[in-house]
Amino acid sequence: MISVLSKDECLEALRKMLMIRRFEEACIDAAHENKVPGHFHVYIGQEATGVGVMSTLDRGDYVHSTHRNHGHLIARGADPNKALAEILGKAGGYAGGKAGTLHGCAPDLNFPLSSGIVAGILPIAVGTAYGLRVRKLPNVSVVFFGDGAMEEGAAYEALNLAALWKLPILFVCENNTAEVDRRPGGGQYHAPNMSIIELTDLPRIMGITTQIVDGLDLGAVWTAARDARNRAVNGEGPTFFEVRTHTWPGGQWPTLITGRTDISHAWTNEVPAQYEKNANWFKRNDPVLSVAREMLKLGIASNAEIEGIDMRVRTEIDSAVKFANDSPFPSLESALENVWPH
Amino acid sequence: MEQTMFGEAKIKAVGDLMRDDERVVIIGGAGFGGLLHSKYVKPLFDEFDSRILRTPIAELGFCGMGIGAAIAGLYPIVTIGTGSFAFEAWPQICNEAPNITYMSGGQVKVPVMFHALVGIRISGAAQHSARPQAMLMQVAGLQVIAPSRAADVGPLLKAARDSERPTFWVDHSLLFEETDLYPPGKAPPALGKAEVVRAGKDVTIVGYSIDLVRCLKAAVELEKEGIDAEVIDLRTLTPLDWETVCESVGKTGRLVVADECYPSASVASEIASIFADKGFGLLKKPAKRLNFPAVPVPLSPPLEMHLLPTVGKIVQAAKELVA
Ligand SMILES: Cc1ncc(C[n+]2csc(CCOP(=O)(O)OP(=O)(O)O)c2C)c(N)n1
Ligand SMILES: [Mg+2]
Residues of A within 8 A of B302 (CB-CB) are 329-330, 332
Residues of A within 8 A of B301 (CB-CB) are 37, 89, 329
Pairing of strands B229-233, B236-238: unpaired
Q: Is the pTM of this model over 0.90?
A: yes
Residues of B within 8 A of A151 (CB-CB) are 56-58
Q: pLDDT grade, residue B320 (50/70/90)?
A: very high
Peptide bond into B309 cis (omega under 30): no
Kindly list the strands in the beta sheet with B255-258, ordered across the sheet, starting from the edge strand earlier in the chain: B195-198, B229-233, B203-207, B255-258, B288-290
- Identify the domain containing residue A189 by its residue range: 2-322
In a domain, A164, yes or no: yes
Kindly list the strands in the beta sheet with A141-146, ordered across the sheet, starting from the edge strand earlier in the chain: A62-64, A141-146, A169-175, A239-244, A209-214
DSSP state of A273: G
Distance CA(B80)–CA(A39), nearest Å, equals: 19
CB under 8 Å to B305, separation ≥6 — which residues? none
- All structural domains of chain B, each given as residue ranges with its CATH number in brackets, are 2-182 (3.40.50.970), 195-322 (3.40.50.920)
Given the cut 0.90, state whether the ipTM is greater than it: yes
Alpha helices in chain A (DSSP H): 7-32, 47-54, 70-76, 80-87, 121-134, 153-164, 201-205, 218-233, 265-268, 279-280, 287-297, 303-326
pLDDT of residue B188: 86
Q: What is the pLDDT of residues B230-245, one digit of tens each?
A: 999 999 999 999 999 9
Closest partner residue to B299 among A97, A253, A332, by Cβ? A97
In a domain, A68, yes or no: yes
Q: Are B175 and B126 in contact (CB under 8 A)?
A: no
From the CA of A147, give the closest atom in ligand 1: 16
Does B296 sit within 8 Å of A98, measured CB to CB?
yes
- Structural domain tally of chain A? 1
In a domain, A327, yes or no: no
Weakly modelled stretches of chain A, pLDDT under 70: 181-192, 342
Does A90 sit within 8 Å of B123, measured CB to CB?
no
pLDDT of residue B33: 85
B100 min Cα distance to partner chain A (Å): 23
Q: Could you tell me the CATH number of the domain that includes residue A47? A: 3.40.50.970
A179 min Cα distance to partner chain B (Å): 19
Cβ–Cβ contact A339 with B under 8 A: yes
In a domain, A330, yes or no: no
Identify residues of B whose CB sits under 8 angstroms from chain A CBs: 29, 35, 53-61, 84-85, 88, 122-128, 293-296, 298-303, 306-307
In a domain, A172, yes or no: yes
Q: What is the pLDDT of residues B199-226, one digit of tens each?
A: 999 999 999 999 999 999 999 999 999 9
Distance CA(A111)–CA(A108), nearest Å, equals: 7
Does A332 sit within 8 Å of B302, measured CB to CB?
yes
A190 min Cα distance to partner chain B (Å): 11
Q: What is the pLDDT of residues B97-156, one digit of tens each?
A: 999 999 999 999 999 999 999 999 999 999 999 999 999 999 999 999 999 999 999 999
In a domain, A284, yes or no: yes
Q: Say how many Å lie between the CA of residue A190 and the centre of ligand 2.
A: 5
Residues of B within 8 A of A37 (CB-CB) are 122-123, 299-301
Q: What is the pLDDT of residues A215-238, one digit of tens each?
A: 999 999 999 999 999 999 999 999
